[in-house]
Copies of this chain bind each other. A is one copy, B any other.
Amino acid sequence: MKTLTVELGERRYPIYIGHNLLDQPELLARHVDSRQVLIVSNETVAPLYLDRVAQAFAGRQLAQVILPDGEAYKTMDSAMHVFDELLRLKFSRGAHLIALGGGVIGDLAGFAAASYQRGVPFIQIPTTLLAQVDSSVGGKTAVNHPRGKNMIGAFYQPKCVIADMATLATLADRELSAGLAEVIKYGLIRDPEFFDWLEAHIESLLGRDPEALAHAVERSCRNKAEVVAADERETGERATLNLGHTFGHAVETGLGYGEVLHGEAVAIGTCQAADLSRRLGRLSDGDVGRIVTLFQRARLPVKPPPELDADAFLEHMAVDKKNVEGHLRLILLERIGRATLPMPVATEPLRQTLREYGRN
């Protein structure tokens, strides 16, 4: 087992990465100093892992909220179900929430923990690659609004993150690839050596080689932890973690939550961002080629959906947390391993990317 630390002063916390960590109930139990525990999970994950998590809490007052699977359920209604259950059981301000699942469960349970009685402790047990390398680390919690993704939420850090590589064995191939989109992102924005390593090991990762997966998760979490420690509330570098996400969120909102996986949308959006960076003279043709090729090798989509035209993209991109007073701001790439902060972009090259990239 490896232990990384997110350095946030009083709110610092460990990330545990290893094999079969859910079979070590004492690891989880020692982070929960309450008799009241509520596990939030979904209908896909709960049958696989809920019993193993529950064994850590023998003799305590253990409750659960099991939601349907999917981004469509990352809503305020689902958060209200969690509040209903916490209040029905009269759980107090010391009660602990456990998020057992992918990014949807982690974001939703985290927001519920941030808001219940103005904040109760919570623990992330991410069971998808995407959640392990990205959403479970860093304290961004949220639910979606019909008009925009992650628009209602809080910055709220967990007490610890437990990333058990064994949970990746049951992950659908499509979910594994979606997670790789965020893994590749770290190489693109700040870790060129990791990008090289990914080019050399992408087949091992798709083949679920345990050592390769553990390395990818650890290196990704290390990058994420460094960025979050330097800029918790996203006033600077942290925004680069959103490379491709403004395009990607437009894909998700435009198609409707659940039609496309978040990682798939990020893959498409990052290729669009790379294309735009090239048109603006920032990124070489060669780097664009390497980027698109690596996403393709990771079995990810790289072209925008035909039903979303440029105007639809622009409409959806107008609702984005990086925008300032209606002015679109985007993260661009300078080269593989270096991203810009969000910046205003001229409309015409952006329209060219939206009209031309991946449209033939």
Which of A146-154, A167-175, A176-184, A301-309 binds B? A146-154
Who on chain B is nearest to A94 by CB? B324
B87 touches A151 (CB 8 A): yes
Residues of B within 8 A of A233 (CB): 119
Count A-side interface residues using an 8 Å CB cutoff.
Answer: 42
Q: Determine if A297 is an interface residue (Cβ-Cβ < 8 Å).
A: no
Q: Is the interface of A mostly helix, strand, loop or mixed?
A: mixed
Tell me, in angstroms, the Cα distance from A233 to B156 when the chains sit together. 14
B118 touches A140 (CB 8 A): yes
Which residue in B80, B83, B90, B155 is a CB contact (below 8 Å) of A326?
B90
Contact (A325, B117) CB under 8 Å given A87-B145, A145-B87: no
Q: Determine if A53 is an interface residue (Cβ-Cβ < 8 Å).
A: no
Which of A38-46, A260-268, A269-277, A315-323 binds B? A315-323
A154 touches B80 (CB 8 A): no
A117 touches B87 (CB 8 A): no
Residues of B within 8 A of A12 (CB): none
Tell me, in angstroms, the Cα distance from A138 to B269 when the chains sit together. 42
Residues of B within 8 A of A114 (CB): 154
Who on chain B is nearest to A95 by CB? B325
A306-349 Cβ-contact flags toward B at 8 Å (1 or 0): 00000000000011011111100000000000000000000000
Q: Determine if A293 is an interface residue (Cβ-Cβ < 8 Å).
A: no
Contact (A154, B319) CB under 8 Å given A34-B325, A90-B326: no
Residues 77-100 of A contacting B (Cβ, < 8 Å)? 80, 83-84, 87-88, 90, 92-95
Which residue in B87, B150, B152 is a CB contact (below 8 Å) of A319?
B87
Residues of B within 8 A of A323 (CB): 90, 92-93
B83 touches A36 (CB 8 A): no
Q: Determine if A116 is an interface residue (Cβ-Cβ < 8 Å).
A: yes
Which residue in B119, B150, B321, B322 is a CB contact (below 8 Å) of A155?
B119
A residues near B, CB below 8 A?
34-36, 61, 76, 80, 83-84, 87-88, 90, 92-95, 114-119, 140-142, 145, 147-148, 150-155, 233, 318-319, 321-326
Across chains A and B, which 8 residue pairs bring their CB atoms closest together, nearest first? A87-B147, A118-B153, A117-B321, A92-B323, A115-B152, A35-B325, A93-B321, A90-B318
A-B contact pairs, 11 of them (CB 8 A): A34-B325, A36-B325, A83-B152, A84-B145, A84-B147, A87-B151, A88-B147, A115-B153, A115-B154, A116-B152, A119-B155
